[in-house]
Amino acid sequence: MSSDVIALSRITYQKMMLNLVWATPYNVITVPAVWTPQTAARQSPLE
């Protein structure tokens, strides 16, 4: 029982790290592409 839980937690941790590795470059590329001056002006909290 305990070894199953440890194995599951290791698999889960590996998947989390893999998702982090893929998500970081994806966000670095896509977020600036969407964040243009026009969208920044529309989302200004001062309006």
CA separation for the pair 28, 13 (Å, rounded): 23
Hey, how many other C-beta atoms are within 10 angstroms of the C-beta on 5?
A: 9
The predicted-structure confidence for 7-22, as pLDDT tens digits, reads as follows: 999 999 999 999 999 9
pLDDT band at 3 (very low <50, low <70, confident <90, very high): very high
44 pLDDT higher than 60 = no
Mean pLDDT of the region 35-44: 63
Backbone angles phi, psi at 9, to 5 degrees: -70, -35
Per-residue pLDDT at 28: 87
